[in-house]
Structure formats: structure tokens, C-alpha cells
A and B are shown apart, each in its own frame.
Chain A
Amino acid sequence: MSLVIKDLTKQYNKHKTGLSDYSITIEKGVLGLLGPNGAGKSTLMKIIATISKPTTGTLFLDGEDIVANPDRIRKILGYLPQDFGVYPNLNAYEFLEYIAAMKGVGGNNLRKRIDLLLEGVNLTADAKRPIGTYSGGMKQRIGIAQALLNDPKVLIFDEPTVGLDPEERVRFRQLISDLADDCIIILSSHIVSDIETIADEVAIMKNGKLITKAAQPDIIKLVEGKVFETLVDNNDVAAIKAKYQVIDTGRQKDKTRVRFISHTGATELAAATVSATLEDAYLFLTHDNK
């Protein structure tokens, strides 16, 4: 199964472009989308989810044009939007039955399917309570359950770990790993560590354009040897920030540990190179001066 996106552009108005000549091929496995706010991640996901029409460009799922025939992907789609809502007066069963109807899932086994999903997201005990009384994390879990109702082959998760506590995030990553064998999973997150642990490949976006798409080690290679760390006086931090792209700082008594990127090294600072991470690469690639 493959999703081929070619020259996709989404122009909202004269001054606002969501995506610009965006091309990417997505295969089975987990693709992590990284990019600053306004990079076009949600726009891309909405277009793949068929709720937004591209201004120009094509989108093929296994050779079939899903811009012209959106119902083709809708049958096998699981979508968890970033800021989805619920009908507060329905309980979990009623809500999932409703979503099942939308997805065209029915039959006598539907209740069993819902039971298993609710069990999987640990909501069985609360299944008969109105969803309006759920906490943010519980709503997010009902969102995950609805995305899996129809045994989807294409799964889109837009910021799925928002509202989940650390334990839930770990379990969610496990769930994604389990699903990745026979699905295309597209996942966006601001939390680089989430992507780092789950994604087979990473696509980094900025200003509606694809900067790079590759396996994590290949992306990290782009910044390998350019990441340095040093311990300096607190007063010197501003000068370093002015000269280098500072990735991170951490205060240690009267000193500050500074992690920064330099193309040529920084002998004047007695800085040592350190192993690069995906976060270093992401910040390097999306830096304004890049």
C-alpha cells in the first residue's frame, strides 16, 4: 500500500498558503511529521483525510485518485484530528456506535468490537457516563478508539498525545507500533521524543514545504558533528546566542550548560562535540536562518 502525493498546493487566500508544491510518497509503517506551527502539517493531514481539497496537485492511494474519489480512502481511514470534539450528551457506547455508522461499520458484532476497543483504551468502567463528564485524557482515548473502529489501513493522528499523561503516552506508542505492520500511519507531534520513539521515517516541514523526508538516522546525520556543548558563565550566554544557534540551555549553579550548533566548530568556547539527536536535526533544519 502506498500513498503518493504530488505537487500538492493549498492556497487559502492571496496571502496564506497552507502547502506549496508538496510531494511525498508514504509507504506502510509510521511516518512522523515534524514542523513548527504553521508548517502545514494539519493542512496536509486534512487533505489526506479528504476534508480539505487541494488547490492543485494529486493524491493517489494505490494508484487511485482520492481527490476525485474521496470515498475510496474514507472506507479504510482512521483519523484523529488535533482539536476534535464529542457530543457531550452521548455515552461512550452511543458515541462509538454513531462513529461506526459514519464509517459504515455494523452487524451483530459491533457491540463486541466496541467493548474490545473500550477495554483497550481503559474506558469500560466509564462507558455509560456521558462523554461530557470525561477528562481531557479520557476524551483523547475515546478519540483513539474511534479511529480504530473500522480496522483502518490508513491512520492519521494529529497531535495524538496531547492531554495524555506520561504513562498513557508510553502505551500509545506501543499501540502505534503494534498497528504499524499493516497500515500507513501518519503522525504529527510537537513532542520530538514521541516521533523519535515511534516513527520509521520522519518528514520535516516548514512554511508549507517539505524540507526532508528520511529515516531517522539519515536525518540525524545531517547535523552530526555540528552539535556542541559547553559550560559557560551565566553572563556569557547572550553572546553565544547571538553568534550560534542555541538548541538548549540548562542552569548549573553559577554556570550554564549550552548546547548549540556550529558549522565550523567553536574553539573559543572550549566546546566539545556531542551526539546529535532528532531534536537537534529538527531545530537545525527549521531554523529561520537555515
Chain B
Amino acid sequence: MRYINSIIKADYLQRIRSYAFLITLAITFYAAYSFVPPPTASYTTLNVVGYKGVYNSAWVGYVSGMMTAIMLSMYGFFLVNGGIKKDIDTEVGLIIATTPISNFGYLLSKMLSNFLVLLTIAGCTFVVSIIMFFVRTTGSPFIIGNFLTPYLLFVVPAIFVISSLAVIAEVFLGRRSILQYIAFFFFFGALMANINQQKNETVAVFIDPFGVRTMTSSIKNHINTKYHEHIEGINLGFTFNSKRGFKTFEWNGINITGEFLLSRLLWVIIALGLVYLSSFFFHRFDFKQPVSKKKKPGLNEQHTDTTALAPAGINRTLMPPLVTDYGIIPFIKTELLLLTRKGSKWLWLISIGAAISMLFAPLNISHLYILPVLWFLQVTRWSELTTREETNRLHYFTYASYKPLQRMLPAQLLAGVVIAIVLALPLIVRYVIAADGYAIFNIINGAIFIVLLAGCLGIVSGGKKIFEIFFFLLTYALTQNIPVVDYLGAVKHDSNAVYIAVMLAFNLLLIAVSFGVRSYKLRNV
């Protein structure tokens, strides 16, 4: 147990001392603030058609807890994922492999450090929720239990499950982050859909690690009973344009049943059980060299490990005359090479398949669902766009090169945009045929936006996690048809001109921040 404690502590400290974690915390504070909007706001986080809850302890505490459970589960996976990979990359894993710690002990420690990281963030939202109670309410009594209950029964089991999933994904899907991201994307989507659509209340409680169904059912039953309504659906999450007329109702929290408590306990046990099972498949940092079945010409010669500089050395008099070329085309070529070689061939096959499917699927399906998911499949390519050189410790060369800001950075961004547009070409072709210039403009602008966002967040945070989290949230929310996250013009907007202006402004801001921060970093290695 002492080993496990030490690993958890080291792993936890290592993660929270990163710049990316600080940014995540800052965003968390803002998100926690936005979970409890003022009554005059143009959005709600828990939307009951025709009704609004009175801001009391229960409402603020439960809504905040519920939003934390869902949001933290959504992006928490991306935040904590990669703990084992880090041990592989830093070769700390080789040291760990030689210690007496068991596979289960190691994976459990990784899971618990994931949990602690997420718990730290949840702790912040908990504090902010209490502050928001005093900011948003007047005269309503403060009942701490209404804050503790949702955080203990919704948030803690939810992030426990996510912490476990992050470890299991790494054990079974190896070092290929993109596979893990795709698997989680579909798992999360399917889970949420099942929770919302499940007719049997008991089953719904048990399949719901977040406790969302218990809470929405409680509110629904409360309104239906008190106001003799037949409300069916309650929307959790940011819902905009809800300024229509409404009645208020006072809700005092859920009834905690034995069934509900059992479901929480069950999820914790399932999470631990899955980690235990995965420990039987854990590689323990013992990687076998893959044997190539296809013998390439000259393969034997290629594997000869030459051991010295040539006896003659480098004869500079034989060198051809130096020709200078300060253009960016060679950079773009190499950046494209790096982008296309990133990831495996099957990912390209899936991407090409998805791109071609946009030729045949209904136009709105292609634009709203296939293109965002297709672009999300490229997340690991773009998240490295401006962090790759530092990750590979090549920035010593790039930053010391001639005019790196004017040549390197534009080449990296342009290469990223080229990939995005090439993948979107089938859809663009259909819009060309339909003579829909507005849609084409939005797709190209969206391509530029997402690549600029990748570049900017990479430069500012120095890592790829923040972009990966953002991109996941954007994609998920966009496929839920939420207009405010529509970066590629897939959803109808009130004013096309305003939408274009906002997107262009975002792009300009991202360019300014990217170039400004990179300019500083160039001289401060």
C-alpha cells in the first residue's frame, strides 16, 4: 500500500503542476460560475419547458453538482487520459516494472490519481457553487447538505467511473490516443442517449453513473404532481433562448432511496472491478518488437548499425555552393508529411470512408454530423500542430531558425487547414453543385477556426490536452444541435452576417494570440 500511496502522490503532483491543469482550473471556475445563471440570462442549465426553479440551496447545489458530474465526465476523460503513456514516454515505467508492485496495484494507483485530479476540480466547482448561492439568492436558507449530497452521490461516482475508464482505455487500446478518444466519444454518447430514453425508471437509475435521471425524474414528478402537468422531458446542459414566459416552482432535492444508493455503490464496484480485470491484460512495459512480415528490399542493410563518422569526415570543399531559399513551401511540404504520417493507415481509411459518405448522405446529416466527427477523428493530428516541436525537443532548431514566426508558424497552420479542407471536399463539392456559397464559406472558415484553435491552445498551454478537451466538447455539443458551438455553419443562425462576423473575429483573435505568445516563447526557451 505504501508503494501505491507514493505513486498516487507523485502522479497527482506531476499532473496538477502542469500549465494545462492551471488553464483547466481557470476554465472550471468560469464553468462553475456559468452553471448558476442569473434569472435574466439568455440560457439555462436545467430546462423544464414553461418552468423555472426558484434559486434555493437545493436548486443551486443540485444543478451545480449535476452539471459538474456531466461536464467533468465529458472532458475529464481527456484530461486524465495518458497517465500510463507518460510512464512509457519518460521510461519511468521501466523502473516501475522492476519494483514489487502488482499490475493491479499500479493500475489502481493510476486510477486513484486520475480520481484525485478530477476531485480537485470538483472541489473547486463545489466552492464556487456555494459562493454562487449567496450571489444569486436572497433570503433563502443555506443548507450545506443540499450541496454535499449531489457532489457525493452524483459527482464522486461519476468521476470514479471516468478515472477507471481512462485507465482501462489505455490498457486495452494501447498508446493510440485517437482510438481511446473515439471509443469514449461513442460510449459517452450512447450512455447519455440510453439514460434519457430508458422507459423503466429502475433500470434508468442503475445504468446512470451521473445520477442525472434520478434528478430529472424527481423534478419532473414534482412539477407534474404539484401543477398537474404531463411534462416528459427535461433538458440538462446549456439551453439557449429560453426567455419565454414561465412559472416558478420550488424544489427541495431528491429523495435518497436505497435503490439509488445501491446504484452508486454498484458503479464504484464496477469501476474497481474493471480495473482489476484489465490488470490481467496490462503489458507492464514489456513491449515486443513488431516483426515485419513484408520484407522490404535492402532491409538487412538498413538494420546495420553504423558505428562511426566516416574516416574521411566531412569535406566541405566538395560541398555544392550554398543556395538560399527562405520560402515556406518546403515547410508546408514537411508539415503535411508529418500530419499524414501521424496515426495509422486504418484511421486514414475510416476518414476517407467518412469523407466519401458525405457525397451520398443527406446534406444536413453530412454537415451537422459526419463532417464534425470526421474532423474530430483528426484531433491527434491537429492537437500536436504547434506542440510537436517542443514534445520532440526540436524547438531548439526551429526557434533558432531564420524568421521562425513568419515562416514556421504559418506553414504549420496552413498544413493543418489543407488537411481539414481536403477532408471536407466531398461536402464542398455538393455545395458547389447546389451553388451555396454561404455554406462553402462557413466550412472553409470552420476549417481555419478549428486549426487556429488547435494552434493557439497548443502554443498557450504548451500541451495538446486543452485542445483535445475543447474539440471533444465542441464536437459533442454540435452533434446535439447547439447553435452557440457551431463553428462550421451547420446550424441555422438568426443572422448570417453576424455569424460570419463573429467567426472572423474569433479567427483574428486566435491568430493574434498565437503569434503574440509564440513570439515571446521564441526568445525564452
Q: Which residues of A contact B (CB under 8 A)?
A: 46, 49-53, 70-71, 74-75, 77, 79, 81, 83-90, 94, 97-110, 112-113, 116-117, 119-123, 125-126, 128-129, 135, 137-138, 141, 144, 146, 148, 150-151, 165, 167-168, 171-172, 174-175, 178-179
Residue in chain B with minimal CB distance to A107: B323
Q: Are A122 and B401 in contact (CB under 8 A)?
A: no
- Give 24 A-B contacts (CB < 8 Å), ordered by A residue: A51-B395, A51-B396, A74-B401, A81-B396, A84-B396, A85-B392, A86-B394, A94-B337, A97-B334, A98-B331, A98-B334, A103-B402, A104-B324, A105-B323, A105-B324, A113-B322, A119-B310, A120-B314, A122-B307, A123-B306, A125-B304, A141-B309, A167-B308, A178-B314
Q: Which residues of B contact A (CB under 8 A)?
A: 301-302, 304-316, 318-327, 330-331, 334, 337-338, 341-342, 388, 392-404, 407-408, 522-525
Knowing A102-B401, A178-B316, say if A122 contacts B525 (CB, 8 Å): no
CB distance from B293 to the nearest CB of A (A): 17
CB distance from A146 to the nearest CB of B (A): 7
Q: Are B305 and A138 in contact (CB under 8 A)?
A: yes
Q: Are B325 and A106 in contact (CB under 8 A)?
A: yes
CB distance from A149 to the nearest CB of B (A): 9
List the 3 closest A-B pairs by CB distance, nearest first. A106-B325, A107-B323, A85-B393
Q: Are A51 and B342 in contact (CB under 8 A)?
A: no
Q: Are A104 and B325 in contact (CB under 8 A)?
A: yes
For A110, the chain B residues whose CB sits under 8 A away are 323
Q: Told that A81-B393, A98-B330, A104-B324 touch, could you supply 6 new A-B pairs with CB distance under 8 A?
A: A50-B399, A104-B325, A107-B323, A122-B306, A141-B309, A178-B314
CB distance from A79 to the nearest CB of B (A): 5
- The docked-state distance in angstroms from the alpha carbon of A217 to that of B178 is 60
Q: Are B318 and A49 in contact (CB under 8 A)?
A: no
- The docked-state distance in angstroms from the alpha carbon of A128 to that of B325 is 24
Q: Are A52 and B525 in contact (CB under 8 A)?
A: yes
CB distance from B61 to the nearest CB of A (A): 41
User: Of A75, A89, A113, A125, which is within 8 A of B402 by CB?
Assistant: A75
- The docked-state distance in angstroms from the alpha carbon of A74 to that of B404 is 10
User: Of B302, B318, B397, B404, which is within 8 A of A99 by CB?
Assistant: B397
CB distance from A189 to the nearest CB of B (A): 17
For A46, the chain B residues whose CB sits under 8 A away are 525
Q: Are A122 and B325 in contact (CB under 8 A)?
A: no
Q: Are A172 and B309 in contact (CB under 8 A)?
A: yes
CB distance from A148 to the nearest CB of B (A): 6
For A89, the chain B residues whose CB sits under 8 A away are 338, 341-342
CB distance from A256 to the nearest CB of B (A): 35
User: Of A71, A112, A121, which is within 8 A of B403 by CB?
Assistant: A71
CB distance from A188 to the nearest CB of B (A): 14
Residue in chain B with minimal CB distance to A108: B323
Q: Are B402 and A51 in contact (CB under 8 A)?
A: no
- The docked-state distance in angstroms from the alpha carbon of A165 to that of B509 is 51
For A86, the chain B residues whose CB sits under 8 A away are 392, 394
CB distance from A100 to the nearest CB of B (A): 7
For A112, the chain B residues whose CB sits under 8 A away are 320
- The docked-state distance in angstroms from the alpha carbon of A102 to that of B395 is 11
Q: Are B394 and A87 in contact (CB under 8 A)?
A: yes
Q: Are B323 and A120 in contact (CB under 8 A)?
A: no
User: Of A74, A83, A108, A168, which is within 8 A of B309 by CB?
Assistant: A168
Knowing A98-B334, A109-B321, A116-B314, say if A167 contacts B307 (CB, 8 Å): yes
- The docked-state distance in angstroms from the alpha carbon of A99 to that of B312 is 24
For B320, the chain A residues whose CB sits under 8 A away are 109, 112-113
Q: Are A51 and B522 in contact (CB under 8 A)?
A: yes
Residue in chain A with minimal CB distance to B331: A101
For A138, the chain B residues whose CB sits under 8 A away are 305-306
Q: Are B301 and A122 in contact (CB under 8 A)?
A: no
For B341, the chain A residues whose CB sits under 8 A away are 89
CB distance from B333 to the nearest CB of A (A): 8
User: Of B308, B392, B403, which is within 8 A of A87 by CB?
Assistant: B392
- The docked-state distance in angstroms from the alpha carbon of A120 to that of B308 is 10
For A120, A128, A138, the residue with the greatest tally of chain B CB atoms inside 10 Å of its CB is A120
- The docked-state distance in angstroms from the alpha carbon of A128 to that of B318 is 23
For A99, the chain B residues whose CB sits under 8 A away are 397
CB distance from A212 to the nearest CB of B (A): 28
Q: Are A106 and B327 in contact (CB under 8 A)?
A: yes
Residue in chain B with minimal CB distance to A80: B396
Q: Are B402 and A87 in contact (CB under 8 A)?
A: no
- The docked-state distance in angstroms from the alpha carbon of A108 to that of B314 is 20
- The docked-state distance in angstroms from the alpha carbon of A85 to that of B391 is 9
Knowing A123-B306, A135-B305, A138-B306, say if A102 contacts B404 (CB, 8 Å): yes
Residue in chain B with minimal CB distance to A127: B302
- The docked-state distance in angstroms from the alpha carbon of A275 to that of B154 is 77
For B308, B321, B324, B388, the residue with the greatest tally of chain A CB atoms inside 10 Å of its CB is B308
User: Of A88, A167, A172, which is within 8 A of B392 by CB?
Assistant: A88
Residue in chain A with minimal CB distance to B393: A85
For A50, the chain B residues whose CB sits under 8 A away are 399-400, 523
Q: Are A148 and B401 in contact (CB under 8 A)?
A: no
Residue in chain A with minimal CB distance to B521: A51
- The docked-state distance in angstroms from the alpha carbon of A53 to that of B392 is 22
Residue in chain A with minimal CB distance to B306: A122
- The docked-state distance in angstroms from the alpha carbon of A107 to that of B325 is 7
For A104, the chain B residues whose CB sits under 8 A away are 324-326, 401-402
- The docked-state distance in angstroms from the alpha carbon of A192 to that of B45 is 67
For A79, the chain B residues whose CB sits under 8 A away are 396-397, 400
